[in-house]
Amino acid sequence: MKYRELVDVYEALSQTTKKLEKIAILTDFFKDVDSKDIDKVVLMSLGLVYPKNSEEEQGVGDKILMKAISQVFGVPISKVEDNVREFGDIGQATEKLYKEKTQQTFLSEELTVEFVFNNIRKIAMISGGKSQSRKMDIISGLLSSASGIEAKYISKTILEELRLGVGEAIVRDAISDAFGIDKKITERAYMLTNDLGLVAGYAKEKGEDGLKELNLIPGRPVKPMLAQLSPGIDLSIKEMGEAICETKYDGIRVQIHKKGDEIKFFTRKLENVTNAIPEMIEPVKNACPNEDFIIEGEMIATRDEKPISFQYILQRVRRKYDIDKAIENVPLTLYLFDVLYYQNPLIDKPLKERRKILERIIKPREKINLSTKVDVNVDNIFEAEKLFKDSISKGHEGIMIKNPNEPYIPGIRGKKMLKFKAEPETLDVVVVGGTYGLGRRSKFIGSYLVALKQDNELKTVAHVATGLDDDTLEHLTNLMEKYKRYDKGTKIFVEPKIVLEIAYSEIVKSPEYEAGYSLRFPVVKRIRNDKGVDDIGTVKDLKAMFKS
């Protein structure tokens, strides 16, 4: 397939904001794509070349890309930067520079989807000496062979900044419509694989029955089931009728996979952090069965057998150097609470059955424990309240309240699993901009513009400027520079990469922000490196919380 055909679809998608029209455009396109290209086209319609479950990262920053653009079009890097600042979009800047180029390149042959896809993938595989120049060579080769509008979208895809308002749900529904498959079946296949390219390939080649073949496989991470805030222990338990209540640990949620002799640890963002925590592999092997499995748990940092700040565990799982020193300074403990695969996939079984299986196959020992839990109903709610008080007294966050009769639903947030914490309510938000401070903090970005999700867009909701010490401000400022799109005076606008957890006193209506609401007295609780933009709160959630 010619890459220009995909580019024409990009252009059509950019001309509408309506979800149904976007689905229709992709549906018609997917129908005509060959089987050998369908997986690539589906991923590239999301602006990706790797599925969400992949451990590969493209690893290209805007600075490398701008250097390549500068070389290809024979202009100073400062001119590229000026154009990016003007448009706030590297793709549009690239297209403009192409049009201004005096000596046009004669194309020897048209670009294909396969060629563009494979070359962008090659970039991720480059490491070691002279990796930057080797990456630039590939980028320069692509841009030199492209037309202006192709160069626009190649640049955007390299940075994973397609920005066409096309999210996973739109692509998933288009796959269903293109190949005549029940949306629930497509959704389930995607939940179990986290790979829409794979789903599309099965849908095209094997239809509905083929999608039903897709299931959990140890070694391939699956999106975690998500929790909502509980309005209160008694209210939640009365609504469920009965509940499994567990201590809520303040750590990193991990999914542990055993396939053959290999153990892997994945975060809730599906990042493989096994190499950062090598001391946990042997304890898992000793405590868990010698069969393939997928088990979930919470990993916390401890000192003198007591939990310590969440930031320590973040530092551990992101550590690439001096691992031995980190192991000594920040000991880890793992609390297991669910099993998704053991001998067979278990997610369709109710939680109470999964928990029984977990308790049967796990042998707690040093570093590995089962989560503390109680079974409650409307007649012994006091047991849940007692667990909450005990959990808080031991330095944990609160409790989880789970419906014991429900299956495990990957990637879904709902009332089947709730969290009740002692601290003020918090929201996970993504930073989209900021403002440099004044006085002694003028070298730091002191105020952060944050946003929530609404459909496939981000809506601003507040500025937050408190809860940050100088070390954190310096770290955040460096990240903001790394992800900068453009700046205007003291203001900077960035890619939505930095997730913050913020506490607040109340929600208020506000025309000042795109969400239509804002937060009073927001305070940064912590940087959530374990979460991405897909994990942040939504405007819908905020409205529901405002009403309640």
Q: Which residues are catalytic?
A: 248
Q: CA-CA distance, 181 to 203, in Å (whole number)? A: 8
Tell me if 253 sits within 8 A of 397, measured CB to CB: no
Say which amino acid occupies 122: K
**CB under 8 Å, gap of 24 or more: what pairs does 482-486 form?**
482/61, 484/62, 485/62, 485/84, 485/88, 485/89, 486/84, 486/85, 486/86, 486/88
The answer to whether the beta carbons of residues 423 and 438 sit under 8 Å apart is no
* Residues ≥6 apart with Cβ < 8 Å to 114: 1, 36, 37, 40
The full 3-state SS of 447-515, as one line of letters, equals: EEEEEEEECCEEEEEEEECCCCCHHHHHHHHHHHHHCEEEEECCEEEECCCCEEEEECCEEEECCCCCC
Report how far residue 38's alpha carbon sits from residue 322's, in angstroms, rounded to the nearest whole number: 43
CA distance 294 to 343: 10
Q: Cα separation of 483 and 448, whole Å?
A: 14
CA–CA dist 251, 24 (Å, integer): 42
Beta carbons within 8 Å of 182's beta carbon, 6+ residues apart: 176, 208
- Whether 338 and 351 have beta carbons less than 8 Å apart is answered as yes
Distance CA 6, CA 15 (A): 15
Alpha helices in 74-112 (DSSP H): 77-87, 90-100
State phi, psi for 233 to the nearest 5 degrees.
-60, -50
CA 401 to mean position of chain CA atoms: 24
C-alpha–C-alpha distance, residues 33 and 39, integer Å: 10
Assess contact for 210 and 202: CB atoms under 8 A: yes
Q: To the nearest 10°, the Cα dihedral for 476, 481, 482, 484?
A: 120
Rounded to whole angstroms, the Cα distance separating 141 from 408 reads: 46
Give, as one character, the DSSP assignment of residue 404.
T
Alpha helices in 289-342 (DSSP H): 310-317, 323-329
